[in-house]
A = this chain, B = another copy of it.
């Protein structure tokens, strides 16, 4: 029995919600899951119990839920479809990177393996989507390499934007307008806890100041010296 859209969405939400606790015992609280999916808490409980029945998750009542190996693979494949579709919509269909998320959210559940393979081939087996998010392989494996954000990277060093971890259209448009998209080279000049802000030197040494919440959503890596002229 192939998983419904709903099941795929639950698995994806758990998969994506796993960036918040130490290794090993990482369990997603039910409340967080319900909130992520926009359903009532009771609904999530019912659904998660069903998912546990079919072996896709491990459920610890009152504690939370975690993906099983099978569930994790399935979730990765959903994400693979999502991200390939996003990249396809931007590169081939010419849509804006701020408008492809919702479309992909729908299509990810209804595109055949055959078509996804065609898309992957047509795009040259890409490794990241337009937001810099890694695209899992057809086997469900992902190359996760840890990286800093604008909140954690060293001050006064040139870094390259690798990833923008917020899919909201207004935020993405802000990023685009300020030349903070993946690939751009920038530098963090200063951070100030009190004013909750981060000062940046961007393209053409243009200065800008953004809030810490926003800064935490921009991932960067040290600009590789070998990549410059």
What residues of chain A have their CB less than 8 Å away from a CB belonging to chain B? 89, 92-95, 99, 102-103, 106-107, 109-112, 114-115, 118-119, 122
Contacts and interface: CB of A to CB of B under 8 A. Distances in A.
Contacts of A112: 102-103, 106
Copy number in the complex reads: 2
Given A89-B115, A103-B112, A110-B110, 17 more contacts: A92-B92, A93-B115, A93-B118, A93-B119, A93-B122, A95-B114, A95-B115, A95-B118, A102-B112, A103-B111, A103-B114, A103-B115, A106-B110, A106-B112, A107-B107, A107-B110, A109-B110
Nearest to A94: B118
Nearest to A107: B110
24 contacts: A89-B115, A92-B92, A93-B115, A93-B118, A93-B119, A93-B122, A94-B118, A95-B114, A95-B115, A95-B118, A99-B114, A102-B112, A103-B111, A103-B112, A103-B114, A103-B115, A106-B110, A106-B111, A106-B112, A107-B107, A107-B110, A107-B111, A109-B110, A110-B110
A80 to B, nearest CB: 18
Contacts of A89: 115
A102 B106 CA distance: 17
A118 B111 CA distance: 18
Contacts of A95: 114-115, 118
Contacts of A119: 93
A119 B89 CA distance: 11
A92 B122 CA distance: 10
List of 10 A-B pairs having minimum Cβ-Cβ separation, nearest first: A106-B110, A110-B110, A93-B118, A103-B112, A103-B115, A107-B110, A95-B118, A93-B115, A94-B118, A107-B107
